[in-house]
Amino acid sequence: MTIFSHSTLWRGLGVAALVCATGSASALTVYTAGPGDLINELASGFEAETGIKAEVFQANTGKVMARLEAEAANPRADVVISASWDSALDLQQRGWLLDYQSPHAAKVPQLYKGPGYVAQGLSALAIAWNPASGTPRPADWKDLAQPAFAGKVNMPDPSQSGTALELLSGLQAAQGEEAVWALFGQFKDNGMAVAGANAQALNPVLQGAKAAVFGAVDYVTYAAQAKGEKVEIIFPSSATVVAARPVMILKSSKVPDEARKFVDYILSDKGQAAVAKAYLIPARTDVAAQRPGLSDIQALPPAGDAERAGREALLQRFSELFARP
């Protein structure tokens, strides 16, 4: 498997601008997918503690990985934070990662770390439901195929959202191909819309134009809820995907010592408190979450090699069903 086995996910994606000012000669460069507020807080806290500036490129996972590939001949990134566990496995397999285990990683479950990567935090995929929508409160994925939800459900596009693709893949592995594609056929017939990346799928639900999101990223929805939005996060009774968000150091880094210190900071008490503040589940088991934790979520088994290898074909089948370009 190569890092770009999900080529359709990343095809045609542009590159956003760097968001931090130029730093000193010892500055490190961080490419990150995830909440902008979180990386800004981590970067400023790290500089305050160490005196080292972190220049940040923040985008979605597809754009981050596209940039890494474009710069393969002349790498710029030192640390990469992804929203897709697959990206860490692929980079490790390609030999791009520097093996490093922070002392703080001792408190991270073995499932969420490897030789050159460790989870920064975790999120789960859920149903985001607007209780003012006039629809019955859903308890499981299949409820969104009911007539009451006709034309009222959004799903993030798996070609733009790695977590949406993980959910589709995980459901097929758990429930079987026939059952899952029958369900998605019902969703299509019921008028489910495939609506861009995660925020694009959620916004119409917050605005009342749609009733629910199938496969909403929970921390994004909790953040909206904290701002006063009338939305409920429902973890399906039949289980969902828990997505670990890996942080890793590239072997090509010219400042590996600074990069190690940054990983240490992310996994420190202060760093994990910032992760919790962003409504992610902290990777360290001894740091409390500010939302339901792993024990409150019925999680699907982690993906195996065969499941990950089949995702490109899965994405193609989904695109054909929903007439995606």
Binding-site annotation, residues for Fe cation: 219
Given a contact cutoff of 8 angstroms between Cβ atoms, the answer to whether 88 and 114 are in contact is yes
Question: Torsion angle, CA of 189/195/197/200, rounded to 10 degrees?
Answer: -140
Cα(325)–Cα(316) distance, rounded to whole angstroms? 10
Find tokens 């001792």 and name the residue. Answer: 106
Given a contact cutoff of 8 angstroms between Cβ atoms, the answer to whether 233 and 126 are in contact is yes
The number of C-alpha atoms within 13 Å of 181 and in the hemisphere containing its C-beta is 11
Given a contact cutoff of 8 angstroms between Cβ atoms, the answer to whether 81 and 32 are in contact is yes
Given a contact cutoff of 8 angstroms between Cβ atoms, the answer to whether 35 and 218 are in contact is no
Residue numbering of the annotated binding site: 219
Output the DSSP codes for 210-234.
-SEEEEEEHHHHHHHHHTT---EEE
Given a contact cutoff of 8 angstroms between Cβ atoms, the answer to whether 118 and 247 are in contact is yes
Q: Which two tokens stand for residue 133?
A: 């929508």
- How is residue 172 annotated by DSSP? H
Using alpha carbons only, give the angle 68, 166, 162 rounded to the nearest 5 degrees.
35
CA 109 to chain CA centroid, Å, is 18
Output the DSSP codes for 122-178.
EEEEEEEE-TTSSSPPP-SGGGGGSGGGTT-EEE--TTT-HHHHHHHHHHHHHH-HH
